[in-house]
Amino acid sequence: MKPKAMCGATEVYPVDILEDDPQAYQTAAEGYYDLLRDGGQTSTEVFSLPTGEQVRLESSSLCFCSMYCDEPQHKILVLVNPQDTKTVVAVYLKESWWSMEDVLRTSDPTREGLMKVQSFGERIVLFVLNTIVFGRLERNLDDDDMFFLPHPTKEQAKIMWRDGAAVGFYSIKRKGSLCGGGTSACYLLPVFDTVFVRRKNRCQGLGTAMLRDFCDTFQEDEALGISCPISPAMYKVLRQFLLTYPGERGRLWEVEPPGAWGQRFNIWLKVYLQEAKLQDGVDHQRTRNDTELPRICQKREGSWDAPETFLA
């Protein structure tokens, strides 16, 4: 079964044509699933993978995935590989099955660069990039590599579009928004929460561009958070970023929610300490325990010239 939506010679993709109506989508998907399960639809239909392999469209290979962590009742219908039922191979949208790559494509030339997630179609792209591409297809499953839960329904996020495809995203927690997890605590500063760039698009400056966009969005705030834990690759990005933009050194903090001063660790100082440790072969963290370090970093004013001198 192939996507039917065509517009002249230009193929259109789900993000360009999906109505902004999650409820209608869900009803249609459930109807299709029921038909297939009850044998109303022939199970001789197959979906062809880019590898040439064919997956039979039958209810045992279909699965409803929760799109949001805070409203699990909103689901999208996916097709999994029968040999590896954790691997999603296609998504059911607009009464057709679409491969992962097609779900991420757009034929709209104005979708280029960083764009806010607003429509239902863009929420699906965010979900697929986060949960399916990063969470499964492009994560190193052998390592204890980090992954992100599905975002909440109204999470503020931007997708990075490049040459007709979604290649990355970042999400933020606004100052004053609820921390979640059943508490009534609210974030005390804007926080750069999740970020991902597809493997084939890495080391081309996209991670840096998203960080720059975040800092520019909150120009008025004197402190900005990056959610803890920060991956080693993201530390590399931050190190390079703070070398390039010294004015941001006093503003960027690794934070635990809600981001009170005792839950912040200045990132530039952490980079400095890590490099000092590497150069001296001295374990600086052993000389000050973890509860002392955040207090050392509670500097609200002044310059951060010591790390700069060290790293020059």
Ligand X SMILES: CC(C)(COP(=O)(O)OP(=O)(O)OC[C@H]1O[C@@H](n2cnc3c(N)ncnc32)[C@H](O)[C@@H]1OP(=O)(O)O)[C@@H](O)C(=O)NCCC(=O)NCCS
Q: Which residues here bind ligand X, judged by CB under 6 A?
A: 195-197, 202-208, 230-231, 233-234, 236-237, 240
Name the percent of the chain in helix, strand, coil, to the closest 5: 35, 25, 40
Helix axes 232-244, 206-217, angle to 10 degrees: 60
Q: Which is nearer to ligand X, 15 or 230 (CB)?
A: 230
Q: Quote the least distance from Cβ 135 to ligand X, whole Å.
A: 10
Give the Cα-Cα-Cα angle 125, 131, 135 (nearest 5 degrees). Answer: 135
The least CB distance from residue 199 to ligand X, in Å, is 8
Please, which residues have CB within 8 angstroms of residue 79's CB and are 6 or more apart in sequence? 47, 55, 57, 61, 62, 63, 88, 89, 90, 91, 92, 97
Q: Which residue is nearest to ligand X (CB)?
A: 207
The one-letter amino acid code at 53 reads E
CB of 244 to ligand X, least distance (A): 8
**Backbone dihedral angles phi then psi of residue 34, each to the nearest 5 degrees:** -60, -45
Task: Using the minimum distance from each CB to ligand X, give the nearer residue, 92 or 192.
Answer: 192
At its nearest, how many Å lie between ligand X and the CB of residue 223?
18
Q: Which amino acid is at 109?
A: P
Residue 22 or 257 having the CB closest to ligand X: 257
In the complex with ligand X, which residue's Cβ is closer, 133 or 273? 133
By C-beta, is 85 or 204 nearer to ligand X? 204
Minimum CB separation from ligand X for residue 231, in Å? 3
The b-or-e profile of 258-273 (16+ CB within 10 A means b, else e) is bbeeebbbbbbbbbbb
Shortest Cβ distance from residue 207 to ligand X (Å)? 3
User: C-alpha 210: how far from its chain's center?
Assistant: 12
Residue 147 CB, shortest distance to ligand X, in Å, is 8
Based on CB atoms, which residue is closest to ligand X, 166 or 206?
206
Between 76 and 195, whose beta carbon lies closer to ligand X? 195
Measured distance CA(174)–CA(157) in Å, rounded: 11
Q: How do 224-227 and 252-255 pair as beta strands? A: parallel
Instruction: Give the residue with the Cβ less far from ligand X, 208 or 217.
Output: 208
Q: How far is the CB of 126 from ligand X (least distance, A)?
A: 14
- Of 297, 290, 205, 291, the residue nearest 251 (C-alpha): 297
User: What's the one-letter identity of residue 129?
Assistant: L
CA 40/CA 20 separation, integer angstroms? 28
